[in-house]
Structure 1
Amino acid sequence: MAEAPLRPSRFFCHRCSAEISPRLPDYTCPQCDSGFIEELPEERR
């Protein structure tokens, strides 16, 4: 059985109030440089 393709984790920046792809390895927002981000739960189909 084939595995589902890996999708990058989704994050939410609480300062920008936007879904973002964080800068790694520091996990900061690329828009405002805040570290106040939260990983969003995986969507179920």
Structure 2
Amino acid sequence: MTKVEARMACAKWLSQCLEIGWPRESLDDLEAIWWRYRDEHGELKSAQAAE
């Protein structure tokens, strides 16, 4: 996945979070969670790397 595709995947995930009821005020924190567990290409990090 390219960096642009990773950002688009994050945006899609955030949109889905809103659809299921997360408040808009939570988007910054939800985005931080996304990138905590994914690298700049959107791939999941290993469990040790995410800590």
TM-score by length of 2: 0.20
**Greater Cα radius of gyration, structure 1 or 2:** 1
Where relative contact order (Cα < 8 A, 6+ residues apart) is larger, the structure is 2
TM-score when scaled to structure 1?
Answer: 0.21
Going by fraction, where is strand more abundant, 1 or 2? 1
The structure in which a higher percent of residues are helix is 2
